Amino acid sequence: MSRPARSYTSWKSNYIVLSSKFLQPNLEPMLPVLAFWIGHEIGRLQLKHANWPTELLLAYVDNIPHLSNPLRRVFTYSEDRYAAFLAPDGLPGLIGIASGRRMLSEVNALDYLIRVKGYGGIWSRLGLLLEADPTPSHRINALLKAGLLKAEPPSHK
Would you list the domain boundaries of the chain? 5-145
pTM: 0.84
- 105-150 confidence digits (pLDDT tens): 888 888 888 888 877 778 877 777 778 788 888 899 889 888 887 6
What does the alpha-carbon distance between residue 14 and residue 88 come to, in Å, rounded to a whole number? 24
According to the model, what pLDDT value does residue 152 have?
Answer: 58
User: Of the ranges 6-15, 22-31, 112-121, which is most confident?
Assistant: 6-15
According to the model, what pLDDT value does residue 151 have?
Answer: 61
